[in-house]
Amino acid sequence: MLLAAVNPWEWKPHPEVWLLVAGIVGLGFYATRVIGPKIVTDGPVVTTKQRRYFVIAVVGLAIAADWPMHDIAEQYLYSVHMLQHLLITFFIPIFFLQATPEWLARLIIGSDTQASSVLRRLAKPITAGIIFNGLAALTHWNGIVQASFDSGAFHYGIHLLMFSSALLMWLPVLGPLPELRLSPPAQMIYLFLMSIIPTIPAAWLTFADNVVYPAYDTDVRLWGISVVADQQFAGFIMKIVGGFFLWVLIAVRFFGWATEQRASDMQKRVVRPLTYEQVSEEFDRSTPPVDQVT
């Protein structure tokens, strides 16, 4: 491949991404403008905060799936590929879940249909964690990486599966349905386990001194980053950035739970003033019999 004939920054259209983003926006508009008013009779269909989360999620999805991030991740730098995976599994799904009102989530997951029942079973913490981490481990297999490098359609398909598994993984922590969320202590344990499992491929990438993925050993080296440095940086993103984010969530859950426990304990310890009736009743009960009075 001639370097002069390659321009990594050449714009490439991705109509499949545009259709996906347009479809999500259309579904959101239909759900909040057509379905929502028929279901929600008191209060807003969606809050201002949920609208903002939805905009952030859609914009983030467009950035992660479109040019230039997708093209660089698919053809040149595995570290950008890892950053792309981090966005579509950690950040974007969280924003979509936070943007989903409870009434809409109940229509999708909480109904009595067979599909909703299957989704609820898949969203159980152990099942969701196994699916998410199993798929994440599979995407680090050399054959899958090579297939993603060779086929844009396969790459998008893997991303769709990863995004779907991430939604399931985050439901027990940040889902819109309270009954599907774990208790705060259980959430901390769950997030801790999610932070441990990725350390294996991250360490493998970080400490490898040879080329792990030949597909990314290309003649074009963006910003002069060598292929070994690129894969080491990918391991850094996976372990440090992703792990730090999970530990921040654990810390937030811990301090929130500790604050609630402290407030509950203080409420139990509050000494309420006795009423006149309570004092009189206690005095009557403690008065000795007449025959014992000297």
Asked if residue 200 lies in contact with residue 173, where contact means CB atoms within 8 angstroms, the answer is no
pLDDT of residue 21: 96
Per-residue pLDDT of the chain (294 residues; tens, 9 = 90+): 334 346 778 888 999 999 999 999 999 999 999 999 999 988 899 999 999 999 999 999 999 999 999 999 988 999 999 999 999 999 999 999 999 999 999 998 877 888 888 999 999 999 999 999 999 889 888 899 889 888 878 888 999 999 999 999 999 999 999 999 999 999 999 999 998 878 888 888 888 888 999 989 988 889 999 999 999 999 999 888 888 999 999 999 999 999 988 887 777 765 566 676 776 776 677 656 555 544
Say what the pLDDT of residue 1 is.
38
Do you know the residue count of the chain? 294
- Greatest Cα pair distance, the chain, in angstroms, is 117
b/e code 186-216 from CB counts within 10 Å (16+ = b): ebbebbeebbebbeebbeebbeeeeebbebb
What token pair was written down for 267? 């409420």
CA distance 290 to 294: 9
d(CA 254, CA 260): 10
Structure tokens at 240: 């440090």
111 secondary structure, DSSP code: S
Entry pTM: 0.85
